[in-house]
Amino acid sequence: MNFYEINHLQFLESRVLLSGDSGLDTKDPVDFPDLRSIVNIGSDASYPANFYPAVGLLRNSTGQNVPGHCTGTLITPQHVLTAAHCLDADRNGTVSQAEINAAVANLYFTTDYGANVVGSTAQNFKVTAAFVHSGFQVRRNTAGDFIDTVNDLAILRLDRIATNIVPIKLFRSAVPVDSVVRLIGFGQSGNTAGGVASSNGRVRYHGVARIDTATSINPNQYNPATYSHALDEKNESQSRPGDSGSPVLVYQNGSDEPFLAGVLSYGQSGPEPDRNEIRIGQRSWDTRVDLYLNWIDGILAQNPPQSNVEIVSQSNITTPQGSSTQIRIRYSSPNGQFTSGFPTPKIAAIGPNNYVNTNPRIGLVIRAADGTTLTVDYGFDGPGGVWNANDNGSYQFVTLNNQLPSDFPNQSGYTQLGTFTVNVPVDSQIPAASGTLPDLTRGGAPEQNIRVIYSDNFGIDASTLGNNDVVIRKTDGTFLTSANLLGDNTRRDAGTIQALYTFTPPGGTWDSSDNGTYQIIVRGNSISDTSGHFVNQTTIDTFSVNIPAGSLHPYARLLTQQITSQTRYIDFEVVYTGYSNIDVSSISANNPPFGAILVEPSQGLAEVASWVSSTPGSNATTVTARYRVDFVKTWTAADNGIVLNLQLFSDSVRDVDSRDVPGTRLGTIKINIGGGNDTVRPTAVASVSNVNLSGSERHLFQVAYADNEAIESTTINSSNLVVVGPDQQVYPVGQSGVNFGENFATKIAGYGLDAPGGSWGAEDNGMYRLFLLDGTVSDINGNFVPGASSDLNPNDALAEFMVNIDPAPLTPPITATVIAPDLTISNQQYYQFQVRYRSNAGIDPAVFGDNDIIVTNNNGYLEFAKFVAVANGYSTGTSKTVTYRIAAPIDFWNTSHDGAYEIHFAGGEIPTVVDLSGNELSAGLGGQFNININTTPLNSTLSSFVGLVNGNWWQSFPTASHIFPEAQSTKSPASMIRLSKVGDFNGDGFDDLAVWLNNGDWYVGQSDQQGGLNFALWTQWRTNDVKEIHVGDFNNDGKDDLIGLFKSGTRGRWWVSISDGGRFSGVHWGDYGKYHGIHSVHVANFDGVKGDDLAIIADSGVVWMVKTSNHRFQYLNSHRWDITHGFDYVQVGDFNGDGRGDLLAVFGTGV
């Protein structure tokens, strides 16, 4: 074969077909049906490439049978890398803006995750932007003959991110000659033996090729920016027309992860009319990716992938239930902002009868290791806690955009995601309880297990199971105790639930002194169905104890509580304890099929466990036995939640006196793969104050649970605690509140103790002991907080408190005055007000918090006000003024929220506001305010005058051009101020005034859009060693922030006070090398992206470009000014109209 005869060049694709109304002369692609891709030597077939979903078609339609015209590769979840000439519709060797516009109007990227043939299941992504390398060119000689292409790269931005396709990473080094690479492309296939094979350009094929030394078709035209490969070896493949833009993939160190090293550009084919003939020696050239990394990275940095929210699954509600996992949402942040430190965002539901729920229950939370995705299961409680027939209808669920990371496009309001329906039939049936316990004739066991079965026609609410559901009572009245739920309560609602409870026998072990008849009683109002109907109190069984004197049998206790690592074998340990030595030979003698322990999973068939070892290996009073059971499967994270129930058979294990361990349910083992091998038990600390004031009905307190990993929040409920009073009466404790949802290392739960007589009085005086019951609160790995046993030994009390009420009426020693102006401004996210507390004993500012104030109205609004700041908050004093705020019911305050609102002091009910003598603020109504939104604000495009005179800010707000009415007066927070700054700190489009007082307090006067300012305390700064205080929107959220340079040794430390619309939060934004040595600092958006940046002019003349990146600064040494003759009048402005800030200065030379 004469190589010269096939030395004819053509591009490897038919360019993107453009619509007829594009205004371009769009020629039809030549011989498109005859083009082929990934061809092979001999008779080898082309190979479908199922496992490369990141490689897709570029075509101008989403039709199932429409073939592609180019190939492209996902390099981010939203960007495709391809060849520039794919957009060259008129084939003149350049890409015009009109051609880019036409491609954006018509082009799609199409791929299929699960199949190599792009068909009905394919995903279609619309191209919304195209970035063509500015140096792209088809080079020709003076005669017009093709030489080569240069800079043949383009990046396409898609309309959304591809959430279930992993992008292919760029290979950032050169590929050595003789390296074997993989080619992936769409189009026709073929081989040298069979000629041209017919296909429709919808199949993804792959093959291998070897990189060689020919960098250009023209030996006199060296092009180091390309790789080449030829169809000249056995088993080698080659690209053909239809493959332009296809990836050249390499692999490293035996890994199966591909890297993108090149992009197919052009190649050889035969002369006309045999242009489509496949011949040995034909060659293709690829643009090297490693030489264009700066261009690619720059485009991606300026056009990052957008974040995304998608519904993975959802379900409707058709049965009565308190809450269920109704909605699974996947959030995608290509910038990786969903790290472990980012709070799980909430969604809201809106529905009939003014239903609004912004606090869903959060279940499963899965974070990608790199923070790019977050999957969350949400469930919504029905009105009153339970969904029932009265709630039937359609409900919307929406994102709360202010809880999403900064790379999400909309940072305010909400975005509708979807709907769910409630269609619950009427339920009138009460749930039932049953259970049995055989009579006991052998003593010695220190605990007794009971299985109780709850059933209901719709479903048992599993969250209501807990301790104190079941009571065991001896009929002669000499013994009464509550049973504890065995294991953590992670059950799901179901029509039938089996629960295992345990209790301690009288005196600690069963013996002959305990003989008699006992009742098993399920307490009324303890277990509920999903409709809110509670089980009636009932005796479900009686059992007798008839133990001969001296009969003390050994007993068993299960040690293993969960399986945390992927495994085939379930290994567990059981401790046997006797009153004489355990016969270890009786343990080892029990193996399948007649073993000692039956293991029954909640899903599947039971198996008998095999004995593995005993420690010690000789007879002893306590022996730990290790067992193994094989279910002939591998347990993985997909099995998480399955519970294994263990039953010990009687007459299996004995002591040396031939007394056997009674048959019993040992307990459960939970499958929790990935849960860690944590054995550290969590802790509990109670915060409970004394009761000194009469009249309150419930005494509220908090318990902080802490763990080295995380507390299992579902185990926190009203059955965790009991209180023993001065009369030794045991009082139940009600649960006041806990942040259910995602499990955290620290969970703070609120509880309440109702006054014995309805309200606290002098007759209740005495000491009260608070007990946390053992085995009730656990961490996520099944380790329980140590607690008190059922005998409630005073030494095991979690905390003590006194009720010490003076019979004489008391005058409150601490008072509070509400300062709450009416709200008339629309589009405000928060309403802020102040409370001035006074006490002659003095008040420590540390006592104030989020539980001080409750705000209500007649339309069902009830919220605890959030603490913002306390004036002069670093010292105690007899008078302290505190700023609080409340959020609008949804989004922003508007006319639908108009009405009167009441401000209540939580006072003695939640003892947070106390003076230095321990006096608590009394509960009660403190004041009120009105929401009365003015719908006719002034013109925000006109500027006003503002000035401080005699302690008042005077502002003249124009009503029209050149018309300034008489100035309005607003009282200043102080007559003397250190500094004032102007900015739109709440993002409403109107400038506000921030003033820094001599004591370090920052007050912000928000414009009321009517010519006035409403001042409130937003934060405090220290008062010394702070300079370069400026205003800018540094996190790009539409609200201005404050920044200051704080001295830290010899360095400067930038702190940004980030505004959330109602207060500032301090964030460390980076350091500067020298605190002293700055000539001036200037704020503007100097790079044209994200938030505001700084330009720092050092005393040396160096100009630093300090770019913000939403949470820190990046320093770039921009240039150095010659300041030999000095400079002045530095100004900032966009002097060249490119949308970026510039600097202007006048130098001493006159320049």
Residue located via tokens 């909309």 = 410
**Which amino acid belongs to residue 49?**
A
- CATH T-level topology, domain 683-803: Immunoglobulin-like (2.60.40)
**Least confident segment among 50-64, 561-575, 1089-1103:** 50-64
The residue-averaged pLDDT of 752-768 equals 82
**CA 630 – CA 646 distance, rounded (Å):** 14
Percent residues over pLDDT 70 in the chain: 80
Structural domain spans, the chain: 3-302, 308-422, 432-545, 555-671, 683-803, 814-931, 1028-1044+1051-1151
The residue-averaged pLDDT of 95-108 equals 88
User: Is 308-422 a CATH 2.60.40.10 domain?
Assistant: yes
The band of 612, judged by pLDDT with boundaries at 50, 70 and 90, is very high
Helix, strand, coil shares, percent, the chain, to 5: 5, 45, 50
**CA 384 – CA 118 distance, rounded (Å):** 50
- Residue 117 pLDDT: 59
CA distances from 364 to 313, 329, 332, 387, 644 (A): 13, 10, 16, 21, 21
Q: Is residue 1037 classed as helix, strand or coil in its secondary structure?
A: coil
Nearest to 612 by CA among 574, 643, 567, 653: 574
Q: Is residue 119 classed as helix, strand or coil in its secondary structure?
A: coil
User: What's 279's DSSP letter?
Assistant: -
**CA 727 – CA 340 distance, rounded (Å):** 49
The residue-averaged pLDDT of 620-628 equals 94
Q: What is the pLDDT of residues 291-333, one digit of tens each?
A: 899 899 989 888 877 777 888 788 888 876 655 557 888 888 8
Burial of residue 586, with CB atoms counted within 10 A of its CB: 0-12 exposed, 13-18 middle, 19 or more buried: buried
User: What's 14's DSSP letter?
Assistant: P
Contacts of 181 (CB under 8 A, 6+ apart): 175, 208, 209, 210, 211, 227, 229, 248, 249, 250, 261, 262
**3-302: CATH class:** mainly beta
Strands 39-40 and 190-191: parallel
**Least confident segment among 389-403, 449-463, 514-528, 691-705:** 691-705
**CA 32 – CA 34 distance, rounded (Å):** 5
Nearest to 1106 by CA among 1121, 1084, 1123: 1084
Strands, sheet with 1078-1084, edge to edge from the N-terminal-most edge strand = 1078-1084, 1093-1098, 1102-1108, 1113-1120
- Residue 322 pLDDT: 54
Q: Say if residue 923's pLDDT is above 50.
A: yes
Strands 259-269 and 169-170: parallel
The residue-averaged pLDDT of 846-872 equals 81
**Least confident segment among 263-272, 686-695, 919-928:** 263-272
Do residues 357 and 405 lie in contact, with contact meaning Cβ atoms separated by under 8 Å? no
3-state secondary structure 213-272: CCCCCCCCCCCCCEEEEECCCCCCEECCCCCCCCEEEECCCCCCCCEEEEEEEEEEECCC
Q: Of the spans 173-182, 763-772, 855-864, 990-999, which averages the highest pLDDT?
A: 763-772
The residue-averaged pLDDT of 915-926 equals 82
Q: What is the pLDDT of residues 1082-1117, one digit of tens each?
A: 999 888 887 888 889 888 888 888 888 756 777 777
- Residue 1043 pLDDT: 92
Do residues 610 and 631 lie in contact, with contact meaning Cβ atoms separated by under 8 Å? no
**Least confident segment among 312-326, 744-758, 762-776:** 312-326
- Residue 735 pLDDT: 66
CA distances from 357 to 314, 350, 395, 544 (A): 17, 7, 11, 51
The Cα diameter of the chain in Å comes to 117
β-partners of residue 1071 are 1053
Q: Of the spans 151-165, 401-415, 734-748, which averages the highest pLDDT?
A: 151-165
Domain 432-545, architecture per CATH:
Sandwich (2.60)
**CA 850 – CA 191 distance, rounded (Å):** 74
Do residues 293 and 205 lie in contact, with contact meaning Cβ atoms separated by under 8 Å? no
**CA 97 – CA 24 distance, rounded (Å):** 11
DSSP states of 344-412 as a string?
PPPEEEEETTTEEE---EEEEEEE-TTSSEEEEEEE-PPGGGSB-GGG-EEEEEEEEGGGS-TTSS--S
pTM: 0.38
Tokens of 1131: 């100004």
Q: What mean pLDDT value characterizes the chain?
A: 79
The residue-averaged pLDDT of 359-365 equals 80
Do residues 467 and 773 lie in contact, with contact meaning Cβ atoms separated by under 8 Å? yes
**CA 897 – CA 882 distance, rounded (Å):** 25
Tokens of 1074: 């020298």
Do residues 347 and 398 lie in contact, with contact meaning Cβ atoms separated by under 8 Å? yes
- Residue 307 pLDDT: 74
Pick the CATH number of 555-671 from 3.90.1150.10, 2.60.40.1220, 3.30.750.24, 2.160.10.10: 2.60.40.1220
Q: Do domains 3-302 and 814-931 have the same CATH topology?
A: no
The band of 710, judged by pLDDT with boundaries at 50, 70 and 90, is confident
Strands 721-724 and 1078-1084: unpaired
Nearest to 230 by CA among 244, 249, 212, 207: 212
- Cα separation of the two ends of the chain: 72
- Residue 222 pLDDT: 60
Domain 814-931, architecture per CATH:
Sandwich (2.60)
- Residue 106 pLDDT: 85
Whole-number CA gyration radius for the chain: 38
The residue-averaged pLDDT of 1056-1068 equals 82
**CA 976 – CA 719 distance, rounded (Å):** 56
Q: What is the pLDDT of residues 145-175, one digit of tens each?
A: 888 888 999 999 998 877 667 789 999 988 8
Torsion of CA 186, 192, 195, 197, to 10 degrees: -30
Q: Say if residue 445's pLDDT is above 90.
A: no
| CA angle, 929 then 931 then 932, to 5° | 125
Overall residue count recorded for the chain in this entry:
1151
β-partners of residue 1017 are 1003
Do residues 540 and 522 lie in contact, with contact meaning Cβ atoms separated by under 8 Å? yes
- Residue 79 pLDDT: 92
**CA 628 – CA 664 distance, rounded (Å):** 19
Q: Say if residue 214's pLDDT is above 50.
A: yes
Contacts of 561 (CB under 8 A, 6+ apart): 487, 667, 668, 669, 670, 781, 782, 783
